[in-house]
Amino acid sequence: GSRSSKLMKAKEQQLAVAQDNATRSQREKAAAQQLTVTAQQETAGLKRAREADAKANRQEVLKLQADLRTLTHENKGLAAEKHKKEEELKTKQRDFTERETSLKQEVEQLRKHQIEGLTAELAGLQTTEELSEFCERLLG
């Protein structure tokens, strides 16, 4: 009786321990699976974030390249405009200098003719009275 009862108790205890171990093993397995799933989700999340960053960076690069092209284009336009204005200025300065020179020459010619005319008139004067009238006219 008693020996078989002890043996039975021992077997029941072994069974309980085995069941505990099996249950613990199941729990650990489930926990490990949960950790794996979580890690996979985190990895996927990080990958998505990295892809989003890469996309944002690509867009930023494209935007900066476009800005640079625009600025380069505007710069060329400004350089061309500046060159055009410089040419216009040179032309105006040249025209002004030419007009100034031309006016000086005209004034010189007029003076020369005036002096020649007055000299001829003076040479043609016969009397003191004519000389007196000539001087009055000259002095206004």
| CA 17 to each of CA 6, 7, 112: distance values in angstroms, whole numbers, following the listed order | 16, 15, 139
Question: Mean pLDDT for the chain?
Answer: 94
Threshold 0.75, pTM exceeds: no
HSE toward the beta carbon, residue 134, CA cutoff 13 A: 15
Domain ranges of the chain: 2-139
Q: What is the mean pLDDT of residues 105-125?
A: 92
Question: Given a cut of 90, is residue 122 above it in pLDDT?
Answer: no
